[in-house]
Amino acid sequence: MAPGKNFSGQSASVGAAKTGKRKPTTAPLAVVLMSGGLDSCVAAAVARQNFELALFHANYGQRSVARELAAFRELAAFFRASRIMEADLLYLGVIGGSSLTDAGRPIPLGEEQIEGIPSTYVPFRNTNLLAAAVAWAEVLGAEAVFIGANILDNPGYPDCRPEYYEAFNRLIELGTRPETHIHIHTPLIRLDKAGIIRLGVSLGAPLALTWSCYQAGEAACGQCSSCRLRLQGFAAAGLADPVPYKS
């Protein structure tokens, strides 16, 4: 799909989408934060059981932005999203502080481990993403926001903890119109990667369309922590990962 088009065929600049109130349907609307990765794909598959989907993607200066965006657009077509938003949050990359956005900081590869919060943590990223997604959800009249956050995969990421999302739900109550009722759902928060994969397969999620690698390229590196977690998850689930890896 050419940049600047949404999936209804209407023109829209990157960072924008059709945002008017939707016509009544039989299903309520949910905004799903969709990076293009495995976890967000499965979160969307969970959401579509009970909701019509509006998919939100953020470009924030990450190394793999072009590949993630391509995966997002393929997933949005698969899920037949009624709305899409491709938001430019490039200031997060300008702020820096993460090896995902700063080319001068190497991404840890192999079994390399460090104490404390990993260098791949993007400072306050989920808060920025959720704030934009909730704003869009309020405009659309959505009832829910889904995010594929997981505490087991990212034990050092402070914005992946269950108590963080409990606090954010309270913030939504305080910071939106009285008639607005939006709840953040984290259906994968306590699942391991194998459990996420099994859930995705059971729901018919298109895992072959996803991109999890922290690096750019047509084939995943297989060495970054995201690739290694993904590969370990597929192995534990007894399944082959359908995406290509560098040999």
Q: What is the pLDDT of residues 6-44, one digit of tens each?
A: 333 222 333 334 334 444 557 999 999 999 999 999 999
Whether residue 131 is contained in a domain is answered as yes
Q: How far apart are CA 17 and CA 135, in angstroms?
A: 13
In the block, which residue shows the tokens 């009624």?
82
Predicted confidence (pLDDT) at residue 3 exceeds the cutoff of 90: no
Q: How far apart are CA 125 and CA 5, in angstroms?
A: 26
What mean pLDDT, rounded, does the chain reach?
89
Q: Which parts of 98-205 are beta strand (E)?
A: 144-146, 183-185
Whether residue 211 is contained in a domain is answered as yes
Whether residue 23 is contained in a domain is answered as no
Please give the average per-residue pLDDT across 221-236, as a whole number: 96
Whether residue 90 is contained in a domain is answered as yes
Please give the average per-residue pLDDT across 143-152, as a whole number: 96
Whether residue 116 is contained in a domain is answered as yes
Give 33-75 pLDDT, tens digit per residue.
Answer: 999 999 999 999 999 999 999 999 999 999 999 999 999 999 9
Whether residue 4 is contained in a domain is answered as no
- Give how many domains the chain has, as a whole number: 1
CATH number at residue 155: 3.40.50.620
Task: Determine the structural domain holding residue 65 and report its residue range.
Answer: 29-237
Whether residue 15 is contained in a domain is answered as no
Whether residue 11 is contained in a domain is answered as no
